[in-house]
Structure formats: structure tokens, C-alpha cells
């Protein structure tokens, strides 16, 4: 008995890793599952869900080829609310489940939904490994700097001294810098957006999808119950222009209410400058290059407490992207290579092995 | 010169040396050679957990025991007829297991002052009278190896590495064997290393010729081919057999096999074996940890493939939460546990059957799944195939238990042809089914099995997860009545599988009587051998061996009630016995050995004598 052609072709690998097809037009509404959404009123998750439903019809995917896989936590309820395939799995393990699915079904568009506790605490190990392997997956990392579902303990991204239920006298833990973590694990796409900027979030979701490789998109998400306003300094109108910088590939790093500030690189040291002062123009500024690994690391360190004098603005957008071979493609190529070299497996020959003998009647 | 050749029915040989002495390779080669001449056989490799344990010490001794015969063989043998001791530590740690009058082949070079000191000998046992009840052959294997390689350009250190071939050659001579198949093996193994090949071949022949020319040994032995069922045979060890069973099931079911695993002794050989066979479309994934290993397999199964993970006890402990998820998702999943002695890290290279209750109960919540066990190296093939069949046809995780003893032990295998393997029915929803009615993920058939619908199938989009499901729809449900119903349904679904597994049979002995020995797993060989002897000796005893533990075969209760006593031997502190007592309310008696080694035939016979001797005496008196 030989490996049948049927098995080999039952799963088609498409060169771009996802299925692009002609199909009836889908609308945001066609992605609503009809399940009652059970996040707290005012939760940032609503916005993320809405932006996702908005962009899904534009991705050119068939509904049935989309899979959302989550772990445990508030964010991980996400798959229930989308009328695609979905799995609400166990705490921290979504990347591992997605890995097995993508390895065997490369044509699917797979989205991992996780949070700061799920993705960087209990599931930190899987997060590191999924990033280095570089399957073609999208990871949406909802960061609200708090444990919401367990009702308000500090998380691995909570600031030092956070007063929470489990740290009434202030937390002593040093927080993770999620993007530095992702870059450190050789993530091939590392980006940041926020729940309260729908346009930016939609754009970033689309770019994350279009990237061939593991996309790590951190989304600042407000937990209005246990950590309300954690990111307001970055998301609200009056402070946003001063404390954020929006990255665009090939454009200079400028920010400020009137775009009057910029960042220059002095060797490896970034410095904030005022445009027009000391003869500095946009021509002197750091030009963002998404493909520059070294500079992406420097950008990821724009991570200071915004209350600190002279702090760098918090960057949003794509920090880094590189085209790197996909793990699932390497798996399938190896299968093909071995089949070509050794020929299709013959089960009877395999069972018999190298040395046999016959006992006669 | 011709020497006297004595015929023996069966022989036990133990090769023992330092873990760097190559005794495992010698053992495997001798095993293949033994199989090829048609002897029945059983083997037991016994090696330290350390890759290079301190040289010359007792913990560093690596051994390989083979029992072969012209009669049926079911164990690696209790005591040895021939002991090869490459150094003093190997002699010391194995001597108690040598039969009186047994043959010792000692490498004198391994008995120098340093080796004697490390082994704890005050004086050289080869030179005093301590071994006079044995047949001692002292050979300076190191010196003879170097002499035979005078013309080989390798350095002394490399030359000495072929010492093991001298031993093998000599043992081939002692048992009147042909060395051709080992020559062919060496030529394959060292195809690109001319000098090493030359050294191995020369030393192998030197060992053989030494037997012919030495004056000190006048006796050779031969063991005729066993009377075995006609058919085509090969030699096989448990882990490769298990891997082949998985590949066979993948091809027969048409499901792509995905094996997610994290290296762990003694399960890693399954990963190694599967990784070799990528031309069978097997995907192997060495995950970052045990949890990722099972979760990746769950992901593969969710995608409509054959998700498999394999591990040993400590890894099993880590997988339990994910096992619960697979139970809730009701998707096929095969989980292999090659048990080793525990708890915690325990004795990684020693055998034990102590993960049975973990397999049956070891999860949070009411979490039933199927538990099966392999009993011999070749049965690892059959049970792996069965595990896939049940997992796929009943949409459930299946735990398959094996252990270090059968994983590494070898036996002749009358292997099946692929067309003789049973069908595996796969029922994955297809797009055309969608129009007929809305897909309800937790609607069930008459066997309580839900429909498998996988991503990529239009009209079957649905969400599942670890939260309790509403019956039929699969929506999240916190309803108390629903939870009780679902708990009962999941249990009933597993119990109903009893209809689809073979009825329990009696392996040997009468269908009714005084004593039934009920075993499971790797104790099969010892129980079979003991019961064969006991039946010959006139005892009223029978043997049944379980391969399906959750659910039990439908007729098991009936069988158990046909005997006055039930004895359950296990390499644990009493686990199957708890399940049997609990399920059937019978006063089963345990025989438990927890030493990291198999139960021997004689130990078991002693136990039976002590239980039945009085009855036996009465019976004898009656006959007079």
C-alpha cells in the first residue's frame, strides 16, 4: 500500500499562504456570530471586535478559511463573536494549538487572540517559540496591563508600584516590554496600535494580515473596570499628540500638536529635537525604516513612563517587518524533498523492515 | 578443530559492560542474528540514565539480556546462562543473576587495579576461588583486539572501540552462528568510513576465530529454530512498532499524521522513528514543551488530521489540562505514555506501570477518556492502530500506555500485511452536507459521537472551547441541568465504546477454575511463562490479559466471576486492582513489585505456589 495521492493533495498549499477567491461579497455583518457579547460595557474589546468585523470582508478570504484561536481571559472570548471557525482554548496555549493547525493546514488564515496575562505570563514560553518559528499567523495581543477576568490583579505588563487587588501596597514586579520581547524572539512583524483609534487599528490589522509570517500586533486596550485610563495619555485628544509618534515607513519621525517635534539619531542615541531650532529641519530626522532591525530595537525602548520629564513619545505603527521563510512551508517542502528522494512510502515494505525470515508449515 | 556441540532448548545471555563499551549494539546485533535463525526470543536492555556515567563504576554498567530458544519465549529470562563481563563492575552487578554452573566471559583488561577498586573488589575475583562454581573464561579482549588490528591505521583509542565486535564474534562462535548478517550491517553502517569498517570486520572475525583456536573452551552450544506459527517474521522493539502502527493507521484512515512531542526517556524513540518516515507524509513537530506538544496535536486534529502526542509520566502530568480540553472539544487525539518509574523524575530508564490511575483519572473535573495498554513489543503496533481507530471513530482522546520494558525489548513479530489491517472509518462533514440542515456541533449519533467539522468547510463555521457546552448546539452554557447531562453524556459515550472493542479472552488455562491471573501491559510475558509452567505442573490456573482498561471489555465481569480467586500482578503499588475492585466488587489479590524491573516468571510462580500449594497438596493426595 502506498501513500495515496488523495492524502497529499487533500491540503493544498497556496503560495501566498492564504486562500484568495472570488466569492459573494461579505459585509461586516456577515461576520457577526449572533452570540450575545458579554464584555463589560465600555470595554476596549468592543472596538477591537468592531474594527475586526470591519476589515474582514476586505481581506478577500472565505469565511470558512478563517480561524480565531484564543486562550483564557477577557480578550479570549473574542472568537465566540465572529462567525468563522474558532476555538476558545486553555490559558496561554493558543500559539501552540495554532502551530499544529497551521502546520497541517497552511491555507487557513489563523488569528491568535491573547492578552498580557495569557500571552506573556502563563503562555510566555509558547509566545517566544511561535515568534522564532515564523508560521504565517496573526497574533493580536490585547494589552490592558491588568488581569480583568480574575478581577483585578496586576499583570506582567503592569507598571511597577501598581496598586491592585493582589498588590495593595504596590507591585514589585518589573514589567515586560512586549514589543522588545517580540523583537528579542526574532518576530518577523512587530507593531502597536490602540483600541481608541479605529482608523489606525483597522489599517494595522490589514497590514498584519498581509505580512507573510508571524505578525505580532500589540493593541493598547482600556479595561474601564480595573485599570481605567491606563493608556489615556496615549489615546486621548489632549495628550495624544505630545505623547505618541505614529510610524510610517520612509517618513521622518515627527510628532507634537503642530508636528513641531522630531527624533534624530545621534549614533545609536535617539534625541528629541524641536524643528526649526538650531537649523534642524525634517531632513535631519530619523527616517523610519521598517526593515532595520537595529533601529526597531531602539524604537521599542521608547517605553518610559510618560510622566517622566523629557520622555520619548510612545510609537505606534509597524516597528519591524522582514520576509523570512515560513515554518509551515519548510515543513511541507521537507516532506516533498524526502518523498522525491526516497519515493512515496510503501507501507508493507515499512512494516517488514530490513531483515525478515519465513517460518514454513 | 572440531569441538563438541551441545544442544539447548533455551539460553539466556547477558552482555554487560561500561556504558561506553557498546553492549547495546552487540545485543541488538545478536538479537537480529538470533531472530534470523528462527529462534523465539525476548530481550531486555538495561542502561544507566546518564549518557556517560562514571567509567568503571557500578552505576555506569550497561546491560543487554537476551533469552532465546527452540520453545516459545515470552520474557528476557530470569537468570542467565552466559554472562559477558567487560569489566569488574559488570561482573559484580550481574553475578547474582547468573545460574550456578553458568558461563562467565570476562575481559581481563577490565579487571585492573583501578577497575577493581571502582567496583569495590578487594582482590581480583578472576584470580581467586570466588568464581569456582561457574565456568570462567578469561580473555584479554583489549590485547587481542589490538593485535588483530596491527595493520589498521586507526589510533589505539579508536581500535579499542571495536572490542565489542570481538565479544560478538566470540559469542557467535559459542552458539555456532553465521556472522554474515552482522558483516552486512557493518558494511552499511560504516559505508564511508573505511578504516573503522575494516577494524570492526577484522575484530568480529578475530573473536570468532579465537573460539576455534583456543584450547581452553571445548564446548559450543546450539539452539534449534523454534516451532512458531508459519509466516513471515521480523524482529521488533516496542517503540518502533508503535510508530509503525501510527503510520499504518494514518495511511489506512487517509488522515495526515501529526506527531507533536517533546523529547523524554523512554518515549523519544517514537519521535525519532516517525521523523525518519517523512515519505509517508508524517509531520513531526518537536515542540518547546510537553504542553505545546499536546496542544499542537490538538490543533492538528481540529484541522481534520490525526493529532498524536507521545511522552512519559512527567510529561503526561504536564499535558493533563490540555487533555481536558480535548475531552471537551470531543476531537480525536492519541496520547502515548511510555511509562517509567516515578514519581517526579523517578528512575527514567527503569520500568514501571504506575501511570494507570493517572491515565484513567488524572484530570480536573469529570473527564473520561479511553485508556488502552500494549502488552508486548509487537502488540505496540496493534494497539497504536487501535488507539487511532477508536479516537477517530468515537471522537475522543485515547491514552495508550506502554512502558520502558516493552518499548526497548525485542521479540520476533509475525507482521501483518497492510490489506489485513481493519478499516478505520472517518466521517468529516463535507460542504454539500451543509445545505441540508444547520450544523449543530454537539448533536450526536446513536453512539453519542458528534460530527467532525473542520475549518475550510463552508457552512460549518462554529466555535468550540473548554467552557461547558450546551447540549446539541455547543453554545456556552452555565445551566445546572445541562452540565449534569453533559457530564453523564461524556461518560456514557466512553462506556459505549465497549461495544466496539474485542471481547476479553482467556490467554491460557480453563474458562473456570481456582485462580485467574489478570494482567495488563508489559507483565504479559512473565505471566504467560509462569502460567504455562503452572499448568504443566497441574495447577488450576488461567491467565487473562487486558488491553482495554477504559472502558473494560463487556464480558470482563463475567470472566472474573468464573474463578474463585483473582490475582493481579502489577509493577506498581496496586492500580488495576483498584479499578477491578471498584467496578466488579470482587476481592482481587495484588502482587506488586516496584523495583524498576519486570516481574520475573519465578517470582510470580512462587506467589501462586503460596496461594495454591495447600490445595495442590490436597489434590495430590486425592490422586493417590
pLDDT at B52: 72
Q: Which of A69, A91, A359 sits opposite B231 (nearest CB)?
A: A359
Torsion of CA B284, B287, B293, B296, to 10 degrees: -70
Q: Which of B325, B456, B475 sits opposite A90 (nearest CB)?
A: B325
Minimal C-alpha gap between B309 and chain A (Å):
11
pLDDT at A16: 43
Residue with cell 563492575: B89
Q: What whole-number distance in Å separates Cα of residue A144 and Cα of residue B602?
A: 66
Grid cell listed for B594: 516496584
Give the number of domains in chain A: 1
Grid cell listed for B563: 474463578
Q: Is A100 on the interface with B (CB under 8 A)?
A: yes
B322: nearest CA partner in chain A: A90
What is the per-residue pLDDT across B216-249, written as a single tens digit (0 to 9) for each? 777 899 999 999 899 999 999 999 999 999 999 9
**pLDDT tops 90 at residue A296:** yes
pLDDT at B369: 98
**Cβ contacts of A291 within 8 Å, gap of 6 or more:** A320, A321, A322
Grid cell listed for B488: 453523564
What is the per-residue pLDDT across A152-199, written as a single tens digit (0 to 9) for each? 999 999 999 999 999 999 999 999 999 999 999 999 999 999 999 999
Q: How confident is the model at residue A9 (pLDDT cuts 50, 70, 90)?
A: very low
Cβ neighbourhood burial of B475 (10 Å; 0-12, 13-18, 19+)? buried
Q: How confident is the model at residue A24 (pLDDT cuts 50, 70, 90)?
A: low
β-pairing verdict for B231-237 and A356-359: antiparallel
- At residue A285's C-alpha, the angle toward residues A282 and A290, to 5°, is 115
CB contact under 8 A, B296 and A96: yes
Grid cell listed for B161: 572501540
Q: With respect to CATH, is domain B234-420 assigned 3.30.230.10? A: no
Q: State the average pLDDT over residues B563-576.
A: 98
β-pairing verdict for B231-237 and B219-222: unpaired
Cβ neighbourhood burial of A265 (10 Å; 0-12, 13-18, 19+)? middle
Q: What is the mean pLDDT of chain A?
A: 93
Q: What whole-number distance in Å separates Cα of residue B109 and Cα of residue B126?
A: 11
**pLDDT tops 90 at residue B306:** yes
**CATH for B513-623, options being 3.40.50.2000, 3.40.50.920, 3.40.228.10, 3.40.50.2300:** 3.40.50.920
Q: Which of A87, A125, A360 sits opposite B288 (nearest CB)?
A: A125
- Across B46-50, B424-428, B468-472, B543-547, least confident range: B46-50
**pLDDT tops 90 at residue B376:** yes
**Domain range for A213:** 5-230+326-352
Asked, as a colleague might, if the bond just before B316 is cis with ω within 30 of 0, I would say: no
CB contact under 8 A, A7 and B254: yes
B619: left (phi over 0), alpha (psi -120 to 50) or beta: alpha
**pLDDT tops 70 at residue A1:** no
Could you tell me what percent of chain B has a pLDDT over 70? 97
Running DSSP on this structure, what letter comes out for residue A121? I
Q: 3-class DSSP state for residue B524? A: helix
Q: Which of A105, A126, A360 sits opposite B303 (nearest CB)?
A: A105
CB contact under 8 A, B457 and A334: no
What is the per-residue pLDDT across A193-241, written as a single tens digit (0 to 9) for each? 999 999 999 999 999 999 999 999 999 999 999 999 999 999 999 999 9
Asked whether A67 and A101 are in contact (CB, 8 A), the reply is yes
CB contact under 8 A, B461 and A85: yes
**What is the Cα B404 distance to its own chain's centre?**
6
Running DSSP on this structure, what letter comes out for residue B595? S
**Measured between alpha carbons, how far is residue A205 from residues B290, B532, B554 in Å?**
32, 70, 55
Q: What whole-number distance in Å separates Cα of residue B145 and Cα of residue B110?
A: 14
- Across A55-59, B18-22, B257-261, least confident range: B18-22
Q: What whole-number distance in Å separates Cα of residue A221 and Cα of residue A193?
A: 9
pLDDT at B217: 75
User: Comparing C-alpha atoms, which of B191, B182, B137 is closest to residue B164?
Assistant: B182
Helical packing angle, A198-210 and A45-55, nearest 10° = 50
Torsion of CA B240, B245, B249, B255, to 10 degrees: -20
Could you tell me what percent of chain B has a pLDDT over 90? 90
**Cβ contacts of A348 within 8 Å, gap of 6 or more:** A1, B417, B418
CATH number reported for the structural domain that contains residue A338 in this entry: 3.40.50.970
CB contact under 8 A, B300 and A101: yes
CB neighbours of residue A25 within 10 Å: 6
pLDDT at B374: 98
CB contact under 8 A, B463 and A33: yes
Minimal C-alpha gap between A222 and chain B (Å):
25
**Which residue out of B72, B187, B281 would a mutagenesis test of the A interface target, given it has the greatest number of A Cβ atoms within 10 Å?**
B281
Residues of chain B with CATH 3.40.50.920: 513-623
pLDDT at B616: 56
pLDDT at B49: 74
Minimal C-alpha gap between A61 and chain B (Å):
11
Does ipTM come in above 0.90? Answer: yes
Please state the three-class secondary structure of B25-45 as a single string.
HHHHHHHHHHHHCCCEEEEEE
Q: Is A50 on the interface with B (CB under 8 A)?
A: no
Tally the C-alpha atoms within 13 A of residue A75's C-alpha that lie toward its C-beta. Answer: 34
Residue with cell 472493542: B501
Q: What whole-number distance in Å separates Cα of residue B43 and Cα of residue B40?
A: 11
Q: What whole-number distance in Å separates Cα of residue B306 and Cα of residue A79?
A: 24
Q: What whole-number distance in Å separates Cα of residue A179 and Cα of residue A192?
A: 8
Tell me phi and psi for residue B105, to 5 degrees. Answer: -110, 110
Helical packing angle, B601-623 and B524-536, nearest 10° = 20
Grid cell listed for A248: 510610517
Grid cell listed for A260: 513641531
Q: What whole-number distance in Å separates Cα of residue B40 and Cα of residue B24?
A: 19
Asked whether B302 and A104 are in contact (CB, 8 A), the reply is no
Q: What whole-number distance in Å separates Cα of residue B584 and Cα of residue B405?
A: 29
Minimal C-alpha gap between A110 and chain B (Å):
10
Asked whether B284 and B272 are in contact (CB, 8 A), the reply is no
Task: State the Rg of chain B over Cα.
Answer: 27
Q: Which of A80, A83, A359 sits opposite B233 (nearest CB)?
A: A359
**pLDDT tops 90 at residue A10:** no
- Across A25-34, B127-136, B609-618, least confident range: B609-618
**What is the Cα B467 distance to its own chain's centre?**
37
**Which residue out of B303, B365, B426 would a mutagenesis test of the A interface target, given it has the greatest number of A Cβ atoms within 10 Å?**
B303
Q: How confident is the model at residue A14 (pLDDT cuts 50, 70, 90)?
A: very low
**Cβ contacts of B10 within 8 Å, gap of 6 or more:** B67, B68, B69, B70, B71, B73, B77, B223
Could you tell me what percent of chain A has a pLDDT over 70? 93
Residues of chain B with CATH 3.40.50.970: 234-420
Q: What whole-number distance in Å separates Cα of residue B576 and Cα of residue B554?
A: 17
Q: State the average pLDDT over residues B527-539.
A: 96
β-pairing verdict for A244-246 and B541-546: unpaired
Q: Give just the sign of the alpha carbon dihedral A115, A118, A119, A121.
A: positive
Architecture of domain B4-222: 3-Layer(aba) Sandwich (3.40)
Amino acid at each position: 500500500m502506498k501513500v495515496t495521492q488523495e492524502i497529499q493533495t487533500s491540503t493544498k498549499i497556496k503560495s501566498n499562504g492564504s486562500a484568495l477567491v472570488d466569492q459573494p461579497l461579505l459585509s461586516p455583518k456577515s461576520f457577526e456570530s449572533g452570540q450575545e457579547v458579554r464584555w463589560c460595557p465600555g470595554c476596549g474589546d468592543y472596538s477591537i471586535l468592531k474594527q475586526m468585523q470591519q476589515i474582514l470582508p476586505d481581506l478577500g478570504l472565505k469565511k470558512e478559511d478563517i480561524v480565531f484561536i484564543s486562550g483564557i481571559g477577557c480578550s479570549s472570548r473574542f472568537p465566540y463573536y465572529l462567525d468563522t471557525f474558532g476555538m476558545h482554548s486553555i490559558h496561554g496555549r493558543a500559539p501552540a494549538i495554532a502551530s499544529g493547525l497551521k502546520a497541517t493546514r497552511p491555507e487557513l488564515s489563523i488569528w491568535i487572540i491573547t492578552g498580557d496575562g495569557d500571552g506573556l505570563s502563563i503562555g510566555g514560553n509558547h509566545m517566544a517559540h511561535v515568534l522564532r518559528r515564523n508560521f504565517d499567523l496573526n497574533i493580536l495581543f490585547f494589552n490592558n496591563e491588568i488581569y480583568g477576568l480574575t478581577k483585578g490583579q496586576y499583570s506582567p505588563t503592569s507598571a511597577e508600584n501598581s496598586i491592585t487587588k493582589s498588590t495593595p501596597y504596590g507591585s514589585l514586579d518589573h514589567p515586560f516590554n512586549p514589543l522588545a520581547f517580540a523583537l528579542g524572539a526574532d518576530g518577523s512583524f512587530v507593531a502597536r496600535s490602540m483600541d481608541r483609534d479605529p482608523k489606525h487599528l483597522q489599517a494595522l490589522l490589514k497590514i498584519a494580515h498581509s505580512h507573510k509570517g508571524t505578525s505580532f500586533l500589540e493593541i493598547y486596550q482600556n479595561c474601564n473596570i480595573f485599570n481605567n485610563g491606563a493608556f489615556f495619555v496615549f489615546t486621548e485628544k489632549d495628550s495624544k499628540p505630545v505623547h505618541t509618534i505614529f510610524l510610517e515607513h520612509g517618513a521622518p519621525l515627527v510628532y507634537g500638536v503642530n508636528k513641531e517635534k522630531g527624533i534624530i539619531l545621534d549614533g545609536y542615541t535617539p534625541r528629541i529635537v524641536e524643528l526649526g531650532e538650531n537649523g534642524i529641519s525634517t531632513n535631519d530626522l530619523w527616517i523610519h525604516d521598517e526593515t532595520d532591525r537595529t533601529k526597531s530595537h531602539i524604537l521599542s525602548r521608547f517605553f518610559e513612563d510618560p510622566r517622566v520629564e523629557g520622555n520619548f513619545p510612545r510609537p505606534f505603527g509597524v516597528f519591524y517587518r522582514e520576509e523570512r521563510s515560513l515554518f509551515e512551508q519548510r515543513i511541507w517542502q521537507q516532506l516533498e524533498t524526502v518523498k522525491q528522494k526516497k519515493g512515496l512510502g510503501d507501507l508493507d515494505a515499512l512494516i517488514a523492515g530490513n531483515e525478515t525470515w519465513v517460518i514454513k508449515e | 578443530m572440531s569441538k563438541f556441540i551441545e544442544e539447548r532448548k533455551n539460553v539466556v545471555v547477558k552482555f554487560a559492560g561500561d556504558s561506553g563499551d557498546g553492549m547495546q549494539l552487540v545485543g541488538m546485533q545478536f538479537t537480529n542474528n538470533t531472530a534470523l535463525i528462527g529462534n523465539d526470543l525476548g530481550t531486555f536492555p538495561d542502561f544507566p540514565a546518564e549518557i556517560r556515567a562514571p567509567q568503571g563504576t557500578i552505576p555506569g554498567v550497561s546491560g543487554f539480556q537476551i533469552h532465546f530458544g527452540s520453545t516459545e519465549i515470552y520474557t528476557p529470562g530470569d537468570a542467565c546462562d552466559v554472562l559477558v563481563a567487560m569489566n569488574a563492575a559488570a561482573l559484580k552487578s550481574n553475578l547474582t543473576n547468573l545460574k550456578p554452573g553458568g558461563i562467565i566471559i570476562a575481559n581481563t583488561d577490565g579487571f585492573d587495579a583501578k577497575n577493581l577498586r571502582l567496583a569495590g573488589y578487594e582482590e581480583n575475583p578472576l584470580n581467586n576461588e570466588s568464581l569456582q562454581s561457574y565456568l570462567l573464561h578469561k580473555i584479554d579482549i583489549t590485547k587481542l583486539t589490538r593485535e588483530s588490528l596491527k595493520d589498521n591505521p586507526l589510533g589505539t583509542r579508536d581500535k579499542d572501540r571495536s572490542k565489542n565486535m570481538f565479544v560478538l564474534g566470540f559469542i557467535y562462535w559459542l552458539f555456532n552462528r553465521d556472522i554474515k548478517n552482522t558483516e552486512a550491517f557493518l558494511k552499511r553502517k560504516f559505508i564511508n568510513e573505511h578504516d573503522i569498517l575494516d577494524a570492526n570486520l577484522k575484530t568480529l572475525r578475530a573473536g570468532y576465530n579465537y573460539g576455534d583456536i583456543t584450547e581452553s573452551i571445548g564446548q559450543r552450544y546450539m539452539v534449534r529454530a523454534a516451532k512458531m506459527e508459519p509466516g513471515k517474521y521480523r524482529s521488533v522493539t516496542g517503540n518502533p512498532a508503535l510508530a509503525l502502527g501510527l503510520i499504518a493507521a494514518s495511511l489506512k484512515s487517509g488522515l495526515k499524521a501529526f506527531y507533536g512531542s517533546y523529547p523524554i526517556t523512554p518515549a523519544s524513540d517514537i519521535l525519532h522513528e516517525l521523523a525518519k518516515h517523512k515519505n509517508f507524509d508524517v509531520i513531526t513537530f518537536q515542540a518547546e514543551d510537553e504542553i505545546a506538544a499536546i496542544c499542537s496535536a490538538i490543533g492538528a486534529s481540529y484541522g481534520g488530521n490525526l493529532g498524536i502526542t507521545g511522552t512519559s509520566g512527567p510529561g503526561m502530568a504536564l499535558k493533563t489540562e490540555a487533555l481536558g480540553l480535548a475531552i471537551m472539544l470531543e476531537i480525536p487525539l492519541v496520547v502515548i505514555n511510555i511509562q517509567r518509574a516515578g514519581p517526579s523524575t523517578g528512575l527514567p530508564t527503569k520500568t514501571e506501570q504506575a501511570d494507570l490511575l493517572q491515565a484513567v483519572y488524572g484530570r480536573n473535573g469529570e473527564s473520561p477518556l479511553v485508556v488502552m495498554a500494549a502488552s508486548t513489543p509487537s502488540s505496540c503496533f496493534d494497539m497504536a492502530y487501535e488507539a487511532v481507530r477508536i479516537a477517530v471513530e468515537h471522537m475522543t482522546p485515547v491514552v495508550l500506555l506502554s512502558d520502558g520494558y516493552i518499548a526497548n525489548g525485542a521479540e520476533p513479530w509475525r507482521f501483518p500485511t497492510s490489506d489485513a489491517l481493519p478499516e478505520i472509518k472517518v466521517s468529516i462533514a463535507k460542504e454539500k452536507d451543509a445545505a441540508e440542515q444547520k450544523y449543530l456541533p454537539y448533536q450526536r449519533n446513536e453512539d453519542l459521537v458528534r460530527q467532525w467539522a473542520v475549518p475550510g468547510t463552508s457552512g460549518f463555521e462554529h466555535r468550540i472551547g473548554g467552557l461547558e457546552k450546551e447540549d446539541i448546539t455547543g453554545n456556552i452554557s452555565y445551566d445546572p441541568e445541562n452540565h449534569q447531562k453533559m457530564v453523564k453524556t461524556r461518560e456514557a459515550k466512553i462506556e459505549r465504546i465497549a461495544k466496539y472493542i474485542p471481547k476479553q479472552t482467556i490467554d491460557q488455562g480453563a474458562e473456570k477454575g481456582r485462580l485467574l491471573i489478570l494482567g495488563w501491559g508489559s507483565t504479559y510475558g512473565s505471566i504467560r511463562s509462569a502460567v504455562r509452567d503452572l499448568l504443566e505442573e497441574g495447577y488450576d490456573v488461567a491467565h487473562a490479559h487486558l488491553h482495554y482498561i477504559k472502558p473494560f471489555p463487556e464480558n470482563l465481569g463475567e470472566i472474573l466471576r468464573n474463578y474463585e480467586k483473582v490475582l493481579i500482578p502489577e509493577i506498581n503499588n496496586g492500580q488495576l486492582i483498584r479499578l477491578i475492585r471498584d467496578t466488579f466488587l470482587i476481592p482481587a489479590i495484588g502482587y506488586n513489585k516496584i523495583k524498576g524491573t519486570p516481574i520475573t516468571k519465578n517470582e510470580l510462580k512462587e506467589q501462586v505456589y503460596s496461594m495454591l500449594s495447600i490445595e495442590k497438596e490436597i489434590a495430590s493426595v486425592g490422586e493417590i
